[in-house]
Amino acid sequence: MAVRYLGAEVQRMEDPRLLTGHGRYVDDITMEGMLHAAFLRAPMAHAKIRSIDASRATALPGVHRVIAHADLGAKYSHRMNQLYPAPVIEQDKTQYPLAKDEVCYVGEAVAVVVADSRAIAEDALALIDVDYEALPAVVNIRTALDDDAPLAHADTTSNLMGKMRSSFGDIEDSFAKADHVFSAAFMQHRGGCHSMETRGVIARDDPWGDGLTLWTSAQSPYLIRRALATWLDESEERVRVIAPDVGGGFGPKAGFYPEEVAISLAARLMKCPVKWIEDRREHFVSTTTQRDQHWDLEVACTAEGKILGLRGKVTHENGAYVPYGILLPNSSLTPLPGAYSIPAIDVSVDIVFTNTVPNSPVRGAGRPCGIYAVERMVQVVSRELGIDPAEVRRRNYVRSDQMPYETGAKLRGGAPCIYDSGDYEALLEKALELSDYSSFKERQAAARAEGRYLGIGVSSCIEDTGMGPYEGTTVRVESSGKVAVRTGAASQGQGHHTMIAMIVAGNLGVKPEDILFESADTAKFSHGIGTIGSRVAANVGPSAHDAAFQVREKALKLAAEVLEASEADLDIEDGVVRVNGAPDLSISLGELAVQLTPMSAMRVPTGFDPVLEATSFDGSSGSPIACGSNVAEVEVDPGTGEVKVLRYSVAHDCGVMINPMVVRGQIVGGVVHGIGNALFERMIYDDQGQPLTMNYGEYLLPLASEMPRVDITHMETPSPLNSLGVKGAGEGGTIPAAAAIVAAIENALTDFGVVIDYYPVDPQMLTELIDAGAAQAAE
């Protein structure tokens, strides 16, 4: 059946509350008797802790307790859990909730102060005396595996965390028969999370009542419940995790953090609720982040630009610990070969420890890096062979008649990566049309006549979305006729409430505003997995669709009995079941619900299970592959090196769109995040591992003033992998952006022969390249 609201631009259910200041984020929650915490954090990147003396801090009026590792006792003396164990992890280093005897990055939690107020807790931090013995720190991934490199951990002999490889096809043969082999090496730097709401936790422990409850600004409350219960060696039933309104996630809130353990233990020790709100400086040094990857690749191709193979080596920065398995390096390799049919690939990754904040995925995870690498090599082929970048792409795309197309790569969990549907070439043509690509050369020449340097860059991507195994939804009609909908999936602003209300309301014949939506509370739904990897629409969506459909069937069956009509003659509108052609014959969903939720001694209609509800875990039978082509048009000012993004055009296919307005918001937000990566966001450490960009004047997030208007056009190729035909849309804006921007800059500066081997591209770097190019041209 058709879903009524699917494809409608329904205004979000979430918004009136948020627009009037009535959101409920972690820091908005207060409790009787609640105390406030602040963390003492490592001031150096690598050191032994000789001793900790908190006596001066404890003596400060208003301070209740200072807790360090030694105060936790034997039961709580172990390291954090590995959330995603994997055989390739050779050194599985997780941190202690509070450092035991060694700190391995600036910002590692060493002790926690519990006080009457956050200000007093901060006062006390300065009074804790820690005797550190500085150790050498490793920061640069390019030299981290050298024999004489400092070691990130004192008890190891190598900074190699592990190795991975993606290898398929006959790579030797591809290179042997190639007309050309080109190589390129480049560094990719991705920045941090920088959700506008920092992390934050409130813990309340009630051993004789509800057990341990955690309110936390998180993307994966069930993962936290599992990890925390496991760490504490307690039943999951006695741990409740709630993600209230969350002010942005972008990946780094998907993990399980030392502070979540430490604040839980603090609440337990203090026998009262304890709140910790990460401040912005802490966010820079304690929220996981992405950082550097170095790629060194060779591409084999024919004289016509058909790519035959890609091989090379990647060095991936892991940071100091492994909180999140190998998700990042893995998701960097999975997208190879991008949108192209490349028969052979052999790329290996060295994952190296550094004394910096542990790494975890940020919007797109490794996909922006993997796609950037492929797109760079396509660009190299285009440049070296003098073929238009769009044309090189046309010659290499996976064609729509090849779908489903098995690339040879493996997804997380080992399943083959299969492109389920899409028409990549048609999508490119739409992007080219939207960007007026065909007339760009005239625009470029006209600008050049005025001394202005314009450039255009193309980038295509695929995105594996909707990874399994499932999310679930329960739909229950209550006596008022309102419909309670619950899911485990947490929202950080993506509009889940609206999306799910649209699906359920359309199926059930109620108004979206009659949906009472609750999510991300482990006490209210049996299990959820997490809001990561653009997976909610393709997992929660089908489950909501199915659960609502089941409830509809049940309601119609019961109504048919009550109204003595045939089910085929019934329809539901605005929460009322009516008999077609007999408008007086009707019963409301609420009345039907009452029949299935009777009071004592009343009977449930024969043949019906109690309660007008259904739960479904229907999802996607594989990863739907979304795709996009982007065109960036930039102007470079050779006088300053400034890059202005003049136009940005996106053609995107995320299958059937549930709410195009929400999809648009995801794409524009994603593109701007990608432009931030390409041009602005850079987290700088000195060679001792001290972070230098520690405020928003130094760490440059994209602002409205520099961002272009993003023009979007869609294709809707339904995914055959789920009942709604949807694919994920959360990261497809970010993934191809850096490649498009960098290609456009190079195109603008063709006169100077500029080739970029690092992003974010900064103006100083560009002026140096321009000057070098000008000097060479003059010779």
Sketch the per residue contact string, 253 through 282, with another protein: x for CB under 8 A, - otherwise.
--------------------------xxx-
Q: What residues from 187 to 216 belong to the interface with another protein (CB under 8 A)?
A: 194-198
Asked if 298 is part of the footprint of another protein (rule: CB under 8 A), the reply reads no
Q: What residues from 394 to 433 belong to the interface with another protein (CB under 8 A)?
A: none
- Candidate ranges 92-100, 228-236, 455-463, 634-642; the one touching another protein (CB under 8 A): 634-642
Q: Which residue lies nearer to another protein by CB, 261 or 671?
A: 671
- Determine how β-strand 63-68 pairs with β-strand 109-115: antiparallel
User: Which distant-in-sequence residues (6+ apart) come within 8 Å of 731 by Cβ?
Assistant: 363, 364, 365, 367, 463, 465, 533, 534, 670
d(CA 296, CA 312): 6
Q: Which residue lies nearer to another protein by CB, 101 or 687?
A: 687
Q: Which of 32, 87, 697, 779 binds another protein (CB under 8 A)?
A: 697
Q: Which of 662, 743, 748, 754 binds another protein (CB under 8 A)?
A: 662
Q: Is the bond leading into 469 cis (omega within 30 degrees of zero)? A: yes
Asked if 646 is part of the footprint of another protein (rule: CB under 8 A), the reply reads no
Look at the block and give the residue holding tokens 């930039």: 634
CA 734-740-745 angle, 5° bins = 130
Q: Which of 129, 445, 639, 777 binds another protein (CB under 8 A)?
A: 639
Q: Which residue lies nearer to another protein by CB, 101 or 696?
A: 696
DSSP 359: B
Asked if 661 is part of the footprint of another protein (rule: CB under 8 A), the reply reads yes
Binding residue count for another protein, defined by CB under 8 A: 77
Q: What residues from 482 to 511 belong to the interface with another protein (CB under 8 A)?
A: 492-495
CB 282, min distance to another protein, A: 9
d(CA 91, CA 120): 39
Name residue 541's amino acid.
G
d(CA 303, CA 430): 27
Sketch the per residue contact string, 702 through 741, with another protein: x for CB under 8 A, - otherwise.
-xxxxx-xx----------------------x--------
CB 43, min distance to another protein, A: 13
Q: Which residue lies nearer to another protein by CB, 283 or 482?
A: 283
DSSP secondary structure string for all residues of 592-653: HHHHHS--TT--PPTT--SSSEEEE----SS--EEEEEEEEEEEEETTTTEEEEEEEEEEEE
Q: Using an 8 Å Cβ cutoff, are 714 and 653 in contact?
A: yes
Sketch the per residue contact string, 32 through 71, with another protein: x for CB under 8 A, - otherwise.
----------------------------------------
Interhelix angle 536-563/589-596, nearest 10 degrees: 80
Q: Which residue lies nearer to another protein by CB, 680 or 752?
A: 680
Q: Enumerate helices (H) and strands (E) in the chain, giving the number of each.
A: 18, 29
Which residue, 321, 115, 283, 67, is CA-closest to 191?
Answer: 283
Q: Which residue lies nearer to another protein by CB, 99 or 667?
A: 667
DSSP secondary structure string for all residues of 143-187: TTTSTTPPPSSTT-S--EEEEEEEEES-HHHHHHT-SEEEEEEEE
d(CA 6, CA 542): 12
CB 313, min distance to another protein, A: 29
Q: Which residue lies nearer to another protein by CB, 183 or 764?
A: 764
Q: What residues from 111 to 140 belong to the interface with another protein (CB under 8 A)?
A: 118-119, 122-123, 126
CA distances in angstroms from 514 to 9, 138, 473, 517, listed in the order given: 18, 56, 16, 9
Q: Using an 8 Å Cβ cutoff, are 754 and 745 in contact?
A: yes
Neighbour count for residue 16 (Cβ, 10 Å):
10
Q: What residues from 750 to 769 belong to the interface with another protein (CB under 8 A)?
A: 762-764, 767-768
CB 666, min distance to another protein, A: 8
CA distances in angstroms from 382 to 319, 585, 689, listed in the order given: 35, 69, 39
Hey, CA dihedral for 612, 615, 619, 621, is it positive or negative? negative
CB 650, min distance to another protein, A: 11
Q: Which of 7, 43, 248, 720 binds another protein (CB under 8 A)?
A: 248
CB 126, min distance to another protein, A: 8
- Candidate ranges 97-105, 162-170, 337-345, 658-666; the one touching another protein (CB under 8 A): 658-666
Cα radius of gyration (the chain):
28
Q: What residues from 19 to 38 belong to the interface with another protein (CB under 8 A)?
A: 19-25, 27-28, 30
Asked if 356 is part of the footprint of another protein (rule: CB under 8 A), the reply reads no
Q: Which residue lies nearer to another protein by CB, 389 or 730?
A: 730
CB 680, min distance to another protein, A: 7
Q: Which residue lies nearer to another protein by CB, 15 or 210?
A: 15
Q: Which residue lies nearer to another protein by CB, 474 or 492?
A: 492
Q: What residues from 520 to 579 belong to the interface with another protein (CB under 8 A)?
A: none
Asked if 246 is part of the footprint of another protein (rule: CB under 8 A), the reply reads yes
Q: Which of 108, 245, 259, 514 binds another protein (CB under 8 A)?
A: 245
Which residue, 391, 98, 82, is CA-closest to 269?
Answer: 98
CB 26, min distance to another protein, A: 11
Q: Which residue lies nearer to another protein by CB, 246 or 328?
A: 246
